[in-house]
Structure formats: C-alpha cells, structure tokens
Structure 1
Amino acid sequence: MSQSDVPSFDDLLDSATESALHLEMRDQYAVSHENEHFRIWKETGERPTDPDSPYWRAWVSLVRRTVARGVPVRRVRIVSEPVTEYIRYEYAGTPVNLAAGEQVRWLARRRASDIALPGNDFWLIDGRLIRWNHFTGDGRSAGGEMCDDPATAKLCATAFEAAWERATPHSDYKV
C-alpha cells in the first residue's frame, strides 16, 4: 500500500470491527491543526476540554461511534521524563480522549528500553492493518502510510501490548 492509499481517520476507525490501537512515541508534535491551541495553552495554561467544542467535536464523535460498536480504542504514549512542554499540553487534553471512550496510558521511555518498538507512531486496526504516522524532525506531519504485512502487524501488536502492560493509566499518571 502507498501514501495515496491512506484512508481518512474516519474511514479507518469506521472500518474497525475488533480493535483500534494507537502508539505514540514522540515528545514533541507540531501538527498544524494544534499550533494555535498549543500557543494559547503556553500563554494561559488553559486548553479546551469541552468534548463538543469545535476543536474536539469530530474526533470525539468518531471515537464515540467506534466504541459504541464495541470496538475498544486504546492509546499508549511513550514519553521521556521529565516530560516536555508539549506532553504537558497533551496531558491537559487527555480527559477529552477519555470522555470520548478512549483508554489512555502513559509509559516512561526508560521503562520501554527492552521492548522491540517499530520506528514510527502507528494505528493498528483489528490486529492486521497499520497506519504509520510519519513526522519530520521538528514534529510536523510528514503524512501517513498504510501497511497490511502480517509480520509487521504482529510486531506492532506485540509492541503495543507490551507497552500497554507496563504503562500507567491516565488517572494514575502525573506530569
């Protein structure tokens, strides 16, 4: 599969029938749709946390309908500690992910040293379809890529589950 075959996140999660797993491994993201909200958060310490706000509405709707079909949506964030300013921003918004129905855990990078991790963040759908999330060195999105190779899907599933088992639930993790 190529970059031109990358479905939207709506199509991807709407296609899930068993599971949607997301592994994040960067300490800094600079995706364009967050830039202004991140700037405001740095200035004020406030982040929109209303699941029905224009910023969150589409994502929350997508996760809610996915979970309503009985498909668990789980996310692990592997982070360096002490965490970066961006991770504190992400942490401040995580209650919305939880309100939508996601399960979110945090794993200190030092506790992931012996886990065989793929080289990029990913979504794994139903244990078989991978959407790689590529980023530039400064955290800007460099596009997605799809992969349906069974051995690679197994690597992603194994890595995710190992990280999930060690990770701390959001309710118990402090930044």
Structure 2
Amino acid sequence: MPSSVPSFAELLGRCERSAVHLELRDSYAPTDRFEAWKRGDRIDWQNRASWWHPYDQTIADAVARGVVIRRARVVSEPVSEYVRWEHYVTHANITAGEDVRWLPRRQATSIALPGNDFWLFDGALLRVHHFSGDGAVVEDEITADPETVKLCAAAFESVWERAIPHRLYEI
C-alpha cells in the first residue's frame, strides 16, 4: 500500500528555516551498517565517497539553503550497543551540517515527552514516526495539529536545553 506521507527529502526540501528531530528509542531495527560495525568494520572517515549517502546530501543541501537542523537523542545509560554505534556514525550527521545533542534519560524525568520520535519542520509540520517493538518503522504520520505541534516543539526545546553537545558526550 503506497504511503500518502511525503518523503523526508520532499519535506526538508520545502523547509525554509528549521528542522528538528527528536529520537527517544535506545535501539532501532538493525541495518547492514550496524551489523558490519558490530563485526568490527570501521568507516574510513577520510574517504567520504565510501560513506556519504543521499540522506547526508539532502541535509547538506538544506543547510546550504540556510535551514538549521538540530537532532536530540534521549538515551538510557549505560547506552545500548545500538546507541554506541549511533554515536560513532554521528560524524556523518555533523559533517552534513546537523547539530546533534544527547540527553541521558535520567535527566528527562521532568520533561513532558511525546510517545514517538518526530521531525518538526519550520515549527509547524510534524512527521511522526511509529515503530514496532523491535524498532522497525511501521508508518509515518503527518500532522499540523496546533496542540500536537506545540507539545512536540516544547518537548524538543526542553530536551535541547539540557542535552550535551555531541563533541562533549562520552559513552
């Protein structure tokens, strides 16, 4: 069944000022890249052609247009193996132009958090990610409902304010 939700690239392509991403899970469905990392394979960060993906270019293009892109991750500590890998590959996000921060879950108790990961574009349009228990994407949902947008925007800003910049977050 085809999705009626616009692609991430399309939504970011329409974005004019800001895109924020809140991640709340300690693991997502495994990828080939994650499995390779678990086997000990490491990325040659000097060889950009070996790791630069279309996603990275989409981010870089938006940043070049003046879009500020921030990503915040709420993580349990000690971190899961998946989060350890995410921390490692965040070099690509930073290189593409994202600003990334990490918030230990124990510091999020007093924050009203939504139940799902999301992207918020220009403070007005949400792309909500719904995952299965094992971390696979079940579906994405688009909403501009003002109350939902307000909750998610406030949650992101509360997390961002407390979170640790990537360069300073040690796992």
Calculate the TM-score normalised by the size of structure 2. Answer: 0.94
The answer for unaligned runs of 5 or more in structure 1 is: none
Shift of 1:42: 0.6
How large is the RMSD of aligned CA atoms in angstroms?
A: 1.5
**1:101-120 equivalences in 2 (<5 Å):** 101-120=97-116
For residue 69 of structure 1, what is the amino acid of its counterpart? R
1:44 partner SS: coil
Calculate the TM-score normalised by the size of structure 1. Answer: 0.92
Shift of 1:51: 4.3
The answer for unaligned runs of 5 or more in structure 2 is: none
Is 1:121 equivalent to 2:121 in the alignment? no
Residues matched between the structures, number:
169
Deviations 1:19-78 (A, max 9, x none): 1000000000005xxx2111111111524645433x532011101110111110100000
Q: Supply the distance in 1 between the matched residues of 2:149 and 2:48 (Cα, whole angstroms).
A: 31
Pick from 123, 135, 160: which aligns with 2:131?
A: 135
Q: Supply the distance in 2 between the matched residues of 1:28 and 1:134 (Cα, whole angstroms).
A: 14
Q: Supply the distance in 2 between the matched residues of 1:45 and 1:62 (Cα, whole angstroms).
A: 25
Shift of 1:118: 0.6
Match of 2:68 in 1: 72
Match of 1:165 in 2: 161
Is 1:20 equivalent to 2:19 in the alignment? yes
Q: Supply the distance in 2 between the matched residues of 1:13 and 1:29 (Cα, whole angstroms).
A: 22
Deviations 1:132-166 (A, max 9, x none): 01110011111211011011101111000000000
Q: 1:137 to 1:30 in 2, by over 3 A?
A: same
Match of 1:149 in 2: 145
For residue 19 of structure 2, what is the amino acid of its counterpart? A
